[in-house]
Copies of this chain bind each other. A is one copy, B any other.
């Protein structure tokens, strides 16, 4: 008889990509596939890192995002989005964000969670990682690259074009660094002892 972990994993694997960004997040797909090929793990969500513009709000709710991308961006694109969305923002503060790669993993046992957590933190530089729910051994692996600032208030862009150039450059650099962390984790997981963490037959 199949155990509960395998049954939950099979159910998770049947789910379609539920990413709200509406595009396949290709830079983290290989890493997710690798983790899902291992008997003792499966992924429940992931993001390869992103640049986003959104309305500031105390709660997560529908319709806050004005722009989201997993790709590098440029100053013209950002300026266009800010100009287009000024009417939508009303008197709200608009936030520009660059966020790191993140991946949520269900692990069969506590020891499996410890193994992947230590590799992520100590060998691959995903320093903001931890076990988020130890009842079901859920790990959240997260890297560190991030920026966040108010960029528009009362429909007015708060910064000039030169700042946006620097901001975009710095955001793109951090995305590159976060993508390197994805490759590093993938490489480290491939080195894991296959006897203890065999790929599924």
Contacts and interface: CB of A to CB of B under 8 A. Distances in A.
Q: Is the interface of A mostly helix, strand, loop or mixed?
A: mixed
A52 B170 CA distance: 18
B146 A148 contact: yes
B128 A131 contact: no
Interface in A5-56: none
Contact of A149 (B110, B129, B148): B148
Q: How many copies does the complex hold?
A: 2
A113 B134 CA distance: 9
Contacts of A121: 132
A114 interface: yes
Given A148-B148, A149-B147, A170-B93, A114 B128 contact: no
B166 A158 contact: yes
Interface string A143-174: 00011111001000011101100110010000
Residue of A130, A148, A150, A153 contacting most chain B CB atoms (<10 Å): A130
Nearest to A114: B134
A135 interface: yes
Contacts of A175: none
A186 interface: no
Contact of A163 (B114, B159, B162): B159
A166 B146 contact: no
**Top 10 A-B pairs ranked by shortest CB distance?**
A130-B130, A149-B149, A131-B131, A158-B163, A130-B132, A150-B170, A147-B148, A114-B134, A150-B166, A130-B131
Interface of A: 93, 110, 113-114, 117, 121, 128-132, 134-135, 140, 146-150, 153, 158-160, 162-163, 166-167, 170
